[in-house]
Amino acid sequence: MNVITDEKRCVGSGQCVLAAPYIFHQRDSDGIVVLLQDTPPESQLAKAREAAILCPSAAIRIQGSPAP
Partner 1 sequence: MSDQEAALLLTDRRDLRCPFAPAAELSAARDTADDLPTVQVVAGPDFTSEALAITRYADARQVLGDQRFRVGVAFDPDQPRPQASQPSFLLNQPGFLLNHNGPEHARLRRMLTGAFSVKRVQQLGPQIEQIVAGQLDELAEAGPVADLVADFALAVPSQVICALLGVPYAERAEFQKRTEDILEGRGSTPQAVDAVTDFHAYVAGIVAARRADPGESLLGSLVREHGHELSDAELIGMSILLLVAGHETTSNVIALGTLALLQEPEQLALVRDDDGVTDTGVEELLRLLSVASTVPREAVEDVTVGEHRVKAGQRVVVSLLAANWDPHLIGDASALDVRRGPVPHMTFGYGVHQCLGQQLARLELRIALPALLRRFPGLRLAVPETDLRFRVNSPVYALRALPITW
- Contacting residues toward partner 1, per CB under 8 A: 11-14, 17-19, 26-32, 50, 53-54, 56-58
Closest contact distance (angstroms) between CB of 8 and partner 1 is: 10
Under 8 Å CB-to-CB from 64, ≥6 apart: which residues? Answer: 1, 2
Compute the distance between CA of residue 46 and CA of residue 15 in angstroms, rounded to an integer: 15
Q: Which is nearer to partner 1, 26 or 44 (CB)?
A: 26
- Least separation in angstroms between CB 24 and partner 1: 9
Min dist CB 45 to partner 1, Å, is 14
Q: Where are the alpha helices (DSSP H) in the chain?
A: 15-19, 45-54
